[in-house]
Structure 1
Amino acid sequence: MNKLEELFVKFNKNISLTDSYKKKIRTGRDSVRTKINNHFEKEVGIVPVHYTQGSYAMHTAIMPLANEDFDLDNGVYLQGYDKNRDDWPNSSKVHQLVIEAVEGHTKETVDKETCVRVVYQDNYHLDLPIYIIGEDDEGEEAAYLAHKQDGWVISDPKAFRNWFNEATKQVPSGSLRRSVKYLKQWAHQNEIDIPGMAISILVSENFSDEKEDALTLLKIVTDIHDKLVDDYSCYKPVRPTTEDLFSKHSYNDQLTNLNQLKTLKDRLAFAIYDSENQYEASLILKEIFGDGRFPIGSKEILNNKFLKTSEPEKVGKKNRHYA
Structure 2
Amino acid sequence: MKPKIFIDGEHGTTGLQIRSLLADRNDIEIISVPTERRKETAARAEFLNAADVAILCLPDDAARESVALISNDTTRVIDASTAHRVADGWDYGFAELDREQPKKIAAAKRVANPGCWPQGPIATLRPLITAGLVPADYPVTVNGISGYSGGGRSMIEDYEAKGEDAPEFLPYGLSLQHKHVPELRTYAGLSRDPIMQPAVGNFAQGMITVVPLQLGGLERVPSGAELHATIADHFAAIPGSVVEVAPFEAAERLPDLQPEQYNGTNRMKVYVFANDKRAQALLVAVYDNLGKGASGAAVQNLDLMLGLGS
| TM-score calculated relative to the size of structure 1 | 0.24
- Which structure has the highest helix share of the two? 1
- Which structure has the highest strand share of the two? 2
